[in-house]
Structure 1
Amino acid sequence: MKNYFSIPFFFFLLLVQAAFAQESPLKSNADSLLMSSKDSLIFLDSTLIQPEVPESLKSPSLEELIYKGRNYSLQANEIMLELEEKLDTSRFAEEIPMMEGYIASIRERAKNPNSKFNFRYVAALLRVLKSTEENNAELDRIVQVRLDRLQYLDSLLGAIKADDFFTYKIRDTLLLPTYSSEIENLKANIHQLDSTIYRQELQAARYQSKLSSITIGIMELLRYVEINRTILEKNLLKKEINFIWESYEIASPKSIFNITLDSLKINYLFLLRQLRLDLFTTVLAVLILAVSFLMIKQTLKKIKEDKEYGKVILDRIKFLSERTFSSVMVALLPLVLFMFDTGSVALLTFFMYLLVFFSTILIHKAFPTNVFVKWLIVVAVFLFFSVSNLYWEIAYQERIYFQIGNLTVLILLWQIPKKFKSEDPNEVFFLKRLRTLTMVFLILGIVANIFGRFSLAKILSVAGVVGFVHAITLYFFVKVIMEIIYAIVENKRDADAFTTYIDYKAIQSRIRGFFMFLALFFWVIIFLHNLALSDYVYDTVSGFLSQERKLGATSFTFSSILLFGFLIYASYILANNIAYFASLKDQKYSGNRTKRLGSSILLIRLSVLIVGFIIAATAAEIPLDKVTIVLGALSVGIGFGLQTIINNLVSGVILAFERPIQIGDDIEVGQNSGQVKEVGIRASKILSYDGAEVVIPNGDLLSQSLINWTLSDKRRRIELIIGVAYDADMTKVKSLIEEVLKRDRILKTPVPRVLMQTFNESSVDFRVLFWIESMDLMLEMRNEVMNAIFEAFKENDIEIPFPKRDLYIKSLPDDSANLGDKKNPPKTDPGDNAH
C-alpha cells in the first residue's frame, strides 16, 4: 500500500516541478562567483535585516531570461572594454615624485634662516608653484574623472548583480547547454570585472591622496612666498646695506662663486624640465629653424647662379649673403621663442644668449673693429648682469661689480654718435630713444647702489643693460627679415606668377612697420621681465580690461571693446592689403581685361570688412540685434545729413557689380581723363596722362557721361589730316600714304583708309584712318606714321604747303627823327609786294 502511494506521488512531484519550475525560484546560498573582494570588506548586520518581501506570483518566461542574459553579457563586455583603457600611470609615476621633490626642496630652502630672497627668486618660486599647481590640478581632474567613471561602472555592475536573474536555473541543462554556459561565463566575467574595478579604484584613490597632499603643500608655500614678496615690495625703496662710502662687511653664508654655481645649476634644471615638458614644441622649433635655413640657402644659391642680376642682388643683402646661418637664427629666434611659455626666466635667458651670439657674428662682419670691440665689452657686462639676474639669493658681494659694469656701459653709450643711419625714420627714433632710456636706468641704478638700495639698483641695472643689448639684436632682426623678404621676391621674380608683379620698394614700407612693431613688442615683454613687473602689469591690465562695467542698462568690458576695435582694424588692414596685391596683379594683366579683377576688388574689400565686423561683434559679445536697432535709428539722420556720402557709397557698390570701369581702364569723365588706378568705396582715383592723381566721387562716374576707351578692348583708331599742294599728283599721294600704312603694328582689320577730305585755301587735305591694337601705342604710332609720310613726300617732291599771304605796303611812317636829317626818304612803289 505504501509503495502504491509513493509512485503516484513521485509522478505528481515531477509534473509540479516541470510546470512551476520557473515560478518557484529555488532558495540557495549566494553564488560565490557573484561575491567580490569589496564584499568581503563589508558584513551585514543581521539585526537590521528587514522581513522578506513575498515573491511575485508571476515568474519571468524563458524568453525573458534569455533576453536579459544577452543584454547583461553585452553590458559586461562593454564594461570590460572600457576598463582596458587604464589610467596613464606612467605620467603619474613621473610627475608626482617630481612635484613632491619641488615642494620638498622649496620647503627645505624656506626653513634655512640664512637664505635671503630676492625678487627674481620670489617671482621664480611663484611661477614654479603656480605651474606645479596647474599640473597638479590637471592630474587631479584626470583622477577624479576616472573615479567617477569607475563608480558609474560599479553601479551598472551592482545593478546586474542585484537582479534576481541569477536565482532562476534550468533543471535540465542538457536542454539549453549554450544558455547555461553563457550564464556561467557571465558570472565569471562579473566576478573578474568587480575585482578589476576594485583594483583600479584603489589605485586612483592612492594617486588622489598624493595629489591632495601636494595641493596642501602648494597652498602653504604660496602663502609663504606671497608674504615674502610683500616684504620685499615694502622694503624695495628702503636702505638694505650701508652707503657706499661707509666701511662695512658683508656677512654671507655662501661665497658669490657658490651662489653663481647653485643658481646656474637650478636654472639649468628648470630649462631642461621645460624643454622636456614641451618636447613637441622643442622638436617643432628645431625643425622650423633647420628647414628655414635650408630653404634660404637654396634661394641664395639660385640667386648666385643668375649671372645677370645675381651679384647686384647679393650686394644688397650683405648680412644674409655673408653670414647665412647667423642671419637666419637672428631672424627666427625671436619668433620661435613665443612658441614656448615665456614665463620661465631660464628659457628667456637661454634664447637671449643665442640671439646675442649670432648678432655678434653679424656685427663682427658688418662694422669696424673698434665698434666690434666696444660691443664685446657691452656683451661681457650683459653676461655678468644676466647671470646675476638668475640668482636665487641676495648676494651683496656683487655690489661693486654692478657699479663697474654700469659705469663702463655709460661711458660706451656716451661715445656712441647721436645720429643713427637707417633707411627707416622709425628705426632712428627707436634707437635714439633706446640710448637715452638705457643711460637713465643705469644712472638710477648707480644712485640707488650708492645709497644702499641694492635690490632696486640691481633691477634697474639689469633692465637697462639687458634691454639695450636685446634692442640691438632686434634691430638686426628687422634688418635680416627685410633682406630675407627681398631675396625671396627677387629669386621668384621670373619664376612665380605672383611675385613677378610685386614691387619690393612699395611693399617694404608696409611690412617694415609691422616688424618694427613686433620687435618693440618683444622688447617690452623682456624688459618687463627684467623689471620683475611682468606679472604685475599683466594682472593689472587684465583686471582692468576684464572688469565688468555698466552704462545705463548695458554692461560691457574694456577688453570686449578693445577686441572689437582690434578685429575691425585687422580686417581693415587685411582688406587694404588684399586690394593692394590684387591691383598689382591687375597691372600685370593690364593688356587683358578678362584676366583682371578690376572693380571686383571693391567687392572683396567690402566682403572682408563685413565678415570682419561680424567676427568682431561676435567675439566681443555685442548683440547684433542691438547693432541693427542702432543702425536703423541712425538711418534717418544718415539719409538727410549724409546724402552725398551715401550716394557715393551706393554708387561704388553699383560700379563693382556693373563693372563699367575697371582698374587700368582709360576713361574720360567730364573734363578729366586718364587711367583708373583704384575703385574705392566712396571715390575712385584716376591717374591723368600728365601724372596727376584725380579723385572722382563714385556718384559722378554714374551721373555724368563716361567714356571708357578700354571697356571691351584696347584698340584705338588714329585719325590724321594730311595736306598737300594743289599741283601734287593726288593718286600718287594716296598710294604713298597707303604704302606707309602697311606696317605690322597697324591692324589690317578694319582696313586702313585714305580719304580726300577738304579743299582748303592753300592745300588739299587727306583724312587718314587706321587702327592699332592698344591705345598705349597711340602716340608712338602717330609719330611713326607721320614721320614716314613726311619722308615719303620729301623723296617724291610732294609739297606739304603752308599758308601764304600777300602784303601790300601803301606808305611808311616818317622816321626822320630816328635817322637824322634825311629830307628825302625813299619812296616805295605801291605795286611792289612782299611774301
Structure 2
Amino acid sequence: MKYTFFLILAITFCGTVTAQKPGRKMADSTLFSDDNIPTRSDYLTQFEKVFQILNKAPLVIGSFVRIDDFQEKLNESDSALAILKEKFTSTSDRTLNIRNLQMYNTLLDELDRNMNDYAVHLNEYDTKLEDLKKEIRDLRKDTLLRKVFRDSSLRQSFIPQLQQLRTKFKRADSLIRHSTAQVNDLKAHTSANTIVVEELLYQTDASLASVGSKAFGKERRYIWEQPTARNNMSRGAFRKSVNNEQQLAQYYFTNTRSKRFWLLLTGLAFFFWIWNNFRSLKKRKKLSAVDGFNFSYVSPVPVIATLLLILNLAPIFDVHAPAIYIETTQFLLMILLTFAFYKRLPKDLFWGWCIFILLFLLLPGTRILGLPLRLMRWATLALDIASIFFGLYILSRSKEVKSKYKLVFYATGLYTFFNFLAVICNIFGRVTLSQIFAATAVYALAQTASLAVFVQTITEAFLLQIQSSRIRKNYPEEFEVKDIRKSIHRLVIVFAALLWYIVFTTNLNLYDALNDMLSALFTAPINIGSFKFTLSEIAIFLGVIWVANFLQRYIAYFFGDTGDDAAFDDKGQRSRLLITRLILLILGFLVAVAASGLPIDKITVILGALGVGIGLGLQSIVNNFVSGIILIFDRPLRIGDTVEIGDKKGRVKEIGIRTSTLLTEDGAEVIMPNGDVLSHNIVNWTLSNNHARVALSFSIERAPGTDVLKPEILDIIKSNEKVVEKREVEVTVSNINSKKTDIRILFWCRDISKVSAISEEVRNAIYAHLEKKGIIIL
C-alpha cells in the first residue's frame, strides 16, 4: 500500500505536458484504426472502478458496529477477572463458599462464551479488512493505470481524477490503518482474557471438586479448643471482600440478564392469563361461577400469585446464582407466603412460620456481619441448635401437621436432621460441611412450603381457565371438578418435585456431580449388533412422545371441554380438537425422531420389524388405527352425533385413535373398535342437522265440532318454539265413524336429543286444548 501511495504522489506532482500544435486536417481513417488502443472512456471507467474500491473502506469499517461495545465489555471483564484472581490468590478462604464458587463457575463460563463471541466477530472484521487490503494491492497490477503513470501526456489529461484518487486513498489508508490496529489490539486483549478465564475455570473446578474431600476432613480445630494464632480476616479486609463479591454479583447479573428476562416474561404471561380469564367472567357477569372452587391464591388482579410463581421458578432459570440473589429471592418469597398463610394456618403454626423466617434471616446475617471465624462458629452453632428445637416443636404436633400438611411435616423432619448434622460437623471442625448442611436445611423447608403454594396456585389457574372457557362457550357451569383437579395437581407436583430436587442438590453441591454422572451414563454408546444408540436418545424419544400424548389428552381442558355432555352440541370444536390431537401425536413422533438423533435407517429397520409383527398378529390394531384416521378426516360421524351402528344407538362421545365411544340413552358407554364402526352401516341422525320427525297418534270421541280440530292442532304445534317452522306439519284425521276419530300428527323438532320431552310437551298441550273443548280422549 505504501508503494501505491508514493506512486500516486509521484503521478500527481509530475510536470505537465506541452500542448501539441494544431496540424492540418487529415482524412477520416477510423475505419483503419486499431481497436485495441484504449480510449479516454476506458481510462475513466477504470478510474471509476478504483474509486469504488476505495469507497469500500468507510463502508466496510462502518459495519464494525460492535467495536466500541467489545472494548467496553473487555474493560468490564478485566475488572471482574482481577477480582476473581484476587479471590483465588487470597490466603483466606471464607468467601470461597460453595454458593460463591458455583457463581464464579457460571460467571467464568459466561465470560468464556463472551470471549469466544468476541473472537468470532473480530476474526470476521479482520477477514473483511484483509479482503479490502488485497483489492487495493491488486490495483498495482492494473495495466491501464500503469500506462497512465508512465505516459506524461496521459497524466496531464487526467489530473482532476488523479487528485481525487489521492484524496480518497489517503482517507482509505488512514481508516484501514486505524481499524487494523484497533482490531488487532482487541484480538490480543480477547486472547489474553481467554487464557485468564481458562486458568480461573480450572482453579474453580478444582476448588469445587476439593470441597467434598475437604468438607469431610478436619478443617479447623474442635470448637472448644483455643486457636494457637490469630489468622482471622481483619474488618477492613472483610469489607473489601464483601464489596468485591457485590461487584462480581453485579457483573454476573449484567451478563446473565437474559435468564431473568425469560423469567419475567413467564410471570407477565401468567398474570395476563389469570387477569384475562377473570375479566372474561366479569364481562359476562359470571364471577359467581368460580365461587365453588374456593380459590385461595388466584384473584382478579393476581399480583401475589404472579410473584409467587416468579420467585418459585427463579432457581430453575438461574441455578448457580450468587448467594445474595438466592437469599433475597427466598426472603421475598417468605414475606409473600406470610401474607398468604396469615388466615390459612392455625395461629400457633403461623407464629412458628414467623420464627422460621427469623432463623432464616440470622443465617446470612452471621456472614454479612463479618464476625471472626471462631465467633461465627459459635453463632452458627447456637443458631443450628435453636433450629433443632424449632423443628422438634413442629414435629411434636405430628397429628395435626401430618394430617393436613404432609409435605411440611416431612420437610420439617429433614430440616431438623440436617441441622443436627450441621451441629455435629461444626463441633468437630468440619466447617464447610456444617455450612452446607445448615443452608440445605433452611432452603429445603422454605422451598417445600413455597412449592406447596405453587402447586395450589397452578391448579387454581387451570381450573379458572376451564371454567372461563365453558362460560364463553355457553356450557353449563357445573362439571366434575374432583378428577380434573387431581390430574392437574398430580402433574404440577411432578414439576414441583423437579424444582425441589434442583435446589436441594445445588445446596449440597451435588447438582453438577449428579449431572455429570447422568450425562456420562446417558451419553455412553450402546451397541447391539450393528445398531448403535445412547440412553439419552431413547430418553428424548420417549419423553417427547410422552409430552405429545399428554398434550393430546389434556388440551381439551384448556378449551373447557371436560368430556361431559355439555360440549356435545359444539361439534365444530370437538372435531377441531380431535384433529389437533392426531396432529400432536404425529408431530410428536416426528419431533421425537429428530430430537433424539436416531438415524432414519434404524427407524426403517424398526418399522420393518413392526411390519412383520403386523403380519403375525397386529392386524386388528392397525385396522382400528387406520379406521380411526378415516373417521377423523372422512367424518361419517362426529362427536355429539346421534347414530345407529349395528344394534347400538346413542350419541358419539369420543372418537379415539383405536376406539370410539357411544353414550346410550340409559347412560351406558359403549366402546367400539373403530374397525367395527366402519364395517357396519352407520345411520347418522344428525349428520347435516339435528332435526328429527315426531309422530303422535291418539283417538277422540266423535262429537259435533270435531271437524275444526285439524287447524286448531296445527296452530298449537306451530306455536311451540321447539318445532321447526319451515318443515310442514301433517295432521291426518282417519277412521271417522259415529263413535271415534283417529288423529295422527307428524312434525319436526329442532333437537333430536329432546324428542321425548318435545313430544310430551306437544301431547299435553293438545290434550289440554281438547279437554277445554269438552272432547273426550279415548
Q: Give the TM-score of the pair, scaled to structure 1.
A: 0.76
Q: In 2 relative to 1, CA 149–753 (structure 1 residues): closer, same or farther, beyond 3 Å?
A: same
Give the counterpart letter for 1:442 in structure 2. Answer: N
Q: Secondary structure at the match of 1:550?
A: strand
What is the CA distance between 1:402 and its match in structure 2?
4.3
Determine the structure 1 residue equivalent to 2:26. Answer: none
Query: Within 1, Cα distance between the matches of 2:583 and 2:449?
Result: 41
Q: In 2 relative to 1, CA 185–462 (structure 1 residues): closer, same or farther, beyond 3 Å?
A: same
Candidates 646, 651, 674, aligned match of 2:627 = 651
Give the counterpart letter for 1:168 in structure 2. Answer: K
2:434 is aligned with 1:444: no
Q: In 2 relative to 1, CA 367–237 (structure 1 residues): closer, same or farther, beyond 3 Å?
A: same
Determine the structure 2 residue equivalent to 1:521. Answer: 498
Q: Is the 8 A contact 1:270 1:346 kept in 2?
A: no
Give the counterpart letter for 1:619 in structure 2. Answer: A
Q: Is the 8 A contact 1:406 1:461 kept in 2?
A: no
Give the counterpart letter for 2:499 in structure 1. Answer: F
Q: Is the 8 A contact 1:143 1:208 kept in 2?
A: yes
Query: Within 2, Cα distance between the matches of 1:261 and 1:403?
Result: 26
Q: Is the 8 A contact 2:319 2:506 kept in 1?
A: no
Q: In 2 relative to 1, CA 625–499 (structure 1 residues): closer, same or farther, beyond 3 Å?
A: farther
Alignment of 1:287-298 (within 5 A): none
Determine the structure 2 residue equivalent to 1:85. Answer: 63
Determine the structure 1 residue equivalent to 2:162. Answer: 183
Give the counterpart letter for 2:116 in structure 1. Answer: A
Determine the structure 2 residue equivalent to 1:103. Answer: 81
What is the CA distance between 1:630 and its match in structure 2?
3.3
2:662 is aligned with 1:686: yes
What is the CA distance between 1:553 and its match in structure 2?
2.3
Query: Within 2, Cα distance between the matches of 1:171 and 1:316?
Result: 97
Q: CA deviation digits over 1:782-803, x for unaligned, max 9?
A: 33344445555656666666xx
Query: Within 1, Cα distance between the matches of 2:531 and 2:157?
Result: 71
2:418 is aligned with 1:461: no
Determine the structure 1 residue equivalent to 2:16. Answer: none
What is the CA distance between 1:467 and its match in structure 2?
1.4
* % identity of equivalent residues: 25
Determine the structure 2 residue equivalent to 1:158. Answer: 137
2:387 is aligned with 1:406: yes
Aligned CA-pair RMSD: 4.4
Bigger shift: residues 473-482 or 282-291? 282-291
What is the CA distance between 1:287 and its match in structure 2?
7.5
Bigger shift: residues 200-209 or 741-750? 741-750
Determine the structure 2 residue equivalent to 1:612. Answer: 588
Q: Secondary structure at the match of 2:662?
A: strand
Q: CA deviation digits over 1:657-680, x for unaligned, max 9?
A: 332211111123334322111111
Determine the structure 2 residue equivalent to 1:76. Answer: 54
Determine the structure 2 residue equivalent to 1:542. Answer: 519
Determine the structure 2 residue equivalent to 1:168. Answer: 147
Query: Within 2, Cα distance between the matches of 1:361 and 1:585?
Result: 34
5+ long unaligned stretches in structure 1: 1-28, 37-57, 802-835
Give the counterpart letter for 1:682 in structure 2. Answer: R
Determine the structure 1 residue equivalent to 2:181. Answer: 202
Query: Within 1, Cα distance between the matches of 2:478 and 2:580?
Result: 20
Q: Is the 8 A contact 2:728 2:747 kept in 1?
A: yes
5+ long unaligned stretches in structure 2: 11-34
Determine the structure 2 residue equivalent to 1:637. Answer: 613
What is the CA distance between 1:482 and its match in structure 2?
3.8
Determine the structure 2 residue equivalent to 1:32. Answer: 6
Q: In 2 relative to 1, CA 406–497 (structure 1 residues): closer, same or farther, beyond 3 Å?
A: same
What is the CA distance between 1:475 and its match in structure 2?
1.9
Bigger shift: residues 454-463 or 546-555? 546-555
Query: Within 1, Cα distance between the matches of 2:451 and 2:646?
Result: 53
Give the counterpart letter for 1:205 in structure 2. Answer: N
Query: Within 1, Cα distance between the matches of 2:502 and 2:207?
Result: 24
Q: Secondary structure at the match of 2:217?
A: coil
Q: In 2 relative to 1, CA 443–188 (structure 1 residues): closer, same or farther, beyond 3 Å?
A: same
Q: Give the TM-score of the pair, scaled to structure 2.
A: 0.81
Q: In 2 relative to 1, CA 625–764 (structure 1 residues): closer, same or farther, beyond 3 Å?
A: farther
Q: Is the 8 A contact 1:99 1:132 kept in 2?
A: yes
Q: Is the 8 A contact 2:470 2:559 kept in 1?
A: no
Determine the structure 2 residue equivalent to 1:663. Answer: 639
Query: Within 2, Cα distance between the matches of 1:160 and 1:509?
Result: 78
Alignment of 1:287-686 (within 5 A): 309-310=287-288, 313=291, 316-321=294-299, 324-335=302-313, 342-386=320-364, 395=373, 397-398=376-377, 399-417=380-398, 430-431=407-408, 433-486=410-463, 496=472, 505=481, 508-509=485-486, 511-578=488-555, 584=561, 590-591=568-569, 596=572, 601-686=577-662
Query: Within 2, Cα distance between the matches of 1:313 and 1:547?
Result: 54
Q: Secondary structure at the match of 2:342?
A: helix
Query: Within 2, Cα distance between the matches of 1:715 and 1:311?
Result: 32
Q: In 2 relative to 1, CA 437–166 (structure 1 residues): closer, same or farther, beyond 3 Å?
A: same
Determine the structure 2 residue equivalent to 1:149. Answer: 128
2:690 is aligned with 1:709: no
Query: Within 2, Cα distance between the matches of 1:284 and 1:489?
Result: 26
Query: Within 2, Cα distance between the matches of 1:254 and 1:322?
Result: 55
Query: Within 2, Cα distance between the matches of 1:199 and 1:660?
Result: 76
Larger radius of gyration: 1
Q: In 2 relative to 1, CA 491–659 (structure 1 residues): closer, same or farther, beyond 3 Å?
A: closer
Q: Is the 8 A contact 1:666 1:708 kept in 2?
A: yes
Bigger shift: residues 413-422 or 670-679? 413-422
Q: Is the 8 A contact 1:568 1:609 kept in 2?
A: yes
Query: Within 2, Cα distance between the matches of 1:583 and 1:290?
Result: 23
Number of equivalenced pairs = 741
Query: Within 2, Cα distance between the matches of 1:93 and 1:312?
Result: 57
What is the CA distance between 1:419 and its match in structure 2?
6.0
Query: Within 1, Cα distance between the matches of 2:414 and 2:366?
Result: 21
Q: In 2 relative to 1, CA 633–420 (structure 1 residues): closer, same or farther, beyond 3 Å?
A: same
Query: Within 2, Cα distance between the matches of 1:755 and 1:389?
Result: 101
2:746 is aligned with 1:769: yes
Q: Secondary structure at the match of 1:668?
A: strand
Determine the structure 2 residue equivalent to 1:817. Answer: none
Query: Within 2, Cα distance between the matches of 1:105 and 1:400?
Result: 31
Query: Within 2, Cα distance between the matches of 1:771 and 1:294?
Result: 47
Q: Is the 8 A contact 1:120 1:391 kept in 2?
A: no
Q: Relative to total residues, which structure has the larger helix share, 1 or 2?
A: 2
Determine the structure 2 residue equivalent to 1:753. Answer: 731
Determine the structure 2 residue equivalent to 1:14. Answer: none
What is the CA distance between 1:734 and its match in structure 2?
6.2
What is the CA distance between 1:386 and its match in structure 2?
4.8
Q: Is the 8 A contact 2:275 2:300 kept in 1?
A: no
Q: CA deviation digits over 1:630-653, x for unaligned, max 9?
A: 323432430341222222222222
Alignment of 1:121-160 (within 5 A): 121-160=100-139
